[in-house]
Amino acid sequence: MKATFVAEATDGSARAGVVHTARGQFATPCFMPVGTRGAVKHLSSADLEALDAQVVLANTYHLMLRPGADVVEKLGGLHRFADWDGHTLTDSGGYQIFSLEPKVDDEGALFKSTYDGSRHKLTPESAAEIQAQIGADIQMVLDVCPPLPSPRGVIETAVERTAAWAERGRAAFLAGPTVDRQHQFGIVQGGTDVDLRRRSAERTTAVDFDGYAIGGLSVGEDRSDTGPALAAVTELLPADQPRYFMGLGDPVGIVEAVARGVDMFDCVLPTRLARHGTMLTSTGRMNLTRAEFATSTDPIDPGTPDSPVARWSRGYLRHLLQVKEPTAPRLLTLHNLHWLFGFVADVRASIVAGQFDAFRQHVHGVWDA
């Protein structure tokens, strides 16, 4: 079966709805925390349940190396492995092509393991097969994500290779054993070049995936260049299938992508910020390591009274950070994810109420300051 998107409300191009999958459904807009190695750093599946997370990511590259996709499969697949009943999504390893700079040719990408130096070839076919073993609800096709800025020729090569890999990866998925219980998303590349974005979108949708992701943005380009490139893609994607912006997690970026018709987001931002003491609040970012908070009795965010850390003062939480108490990154991660889940719920509510533009302006007023 295909993953489908059913709109419950629209406000301009912004849409709130439900994605239906073989596992069940989840509401959009949806933020998905990143659990690279089968866990969101410092959190358990029980924590994610308490936070009402809907979809959690894992990473194909890392799980195929440690503990190995065959081990995850023997332990019941990703859901049983992590004891997580919600939705899961696995990246294909395409981000590691961007971040680790392996040797890439038309066949695939040759990686040197970050763990022991061993070499591993990832192809569109093996990426689909490995993700079938891991067993996430949604798997991503293998793609090439060029850094920005890059010469047009580099981006064009990435578009052509991504398109060729899309056909191969889709064929492997459709011939695989999990086609009735997994979904596969295609990925659109093209940098900030509108024409290349359109070409990639047309090539990708022609393959007929179960959903579509926008990759290769929020990777170093100026934000003013992101919007036109994104709009060029979303207007060509099927309206009845989910749209996913890969690697985006800041409030302004999310509302701008929602304004252009995007449904799903993931990013390490909220969890990485938390580990370094930066909090997401109703008045913007707060660097809790600053000395001014040493004796503060205020909660992290009075505007979020239901935060998992609302019972503790800024001064106490800052102390935990200063002495490197392991409890600190866990508590602050809980807060940042709770805050961001609440934020996307507010985005959804503003669309349903027909007040998205006002909400969008409010977000800019807080986060552009």
Q: Which residues pair with 188 in a beta bridge?
A: 214
Provide the angle, in degrees to the nearest 10, between the axes of the packed helices 223-234 and 251-258.
30
The Cα 129–Cα 134 span in angstroms is: 9
Rounded Cα distance between 180 and 169, Å, is 16
In the numeric block, which tokens belong to residue 167? 């056909």
Distance CA 9, CA 117 (A): 50
**Angle at 219 (CA atoms; ends 78, 119), nearest 5 degrees:** 50
Beta carbons of 13 and 260 less than 8 angstroms apart: yes
Q: Report d(CA 180, CA 34) in Å as an integer.
A: 25
Question: Of the candidates 75, 129, 3, 29, which has an alpha carbon nearest to the alpha carbon of residue 343?
Answer: 29
Q: Is 341 helix (H, G, I), strand (E, B) or coil?
A: helix
For the record, the structure tokens of 144 come out as 């090439």
Beta bridge partners of 11: 14
Q: Is 346 one of the catalytic residues? A: no
Decide if 91 is catalytic: yes
Q: Quickly list DSSP for 197-225.
A: HHHHHHHHHHH--SEEEE-S-SSSS-HHH
Helix (H, G, I), strand (E, B) or coil at 349: helix
User: CA–CA separation, 1 vs 220, rounded Å?
Assistant: 36
CA distances from 151 to 76, 97, 186 (A): 44, 17, 24
Q: Which of 210, 250, 263, 266 is catalytic?
A: 266
Residue 274 in contact with residue 336, Cβ under 8 Å?
A: yes
Which residues, other chains included, contact 336 with Cβ-Cβ below 8 Å and sequence gap of 6+? Answer: 270, 271, 273, 274, 279, 280
Of the residues 11, 91, 137, 263, only one is catalytic, namely 91
Q: Active-site positions?
A: 91, 266
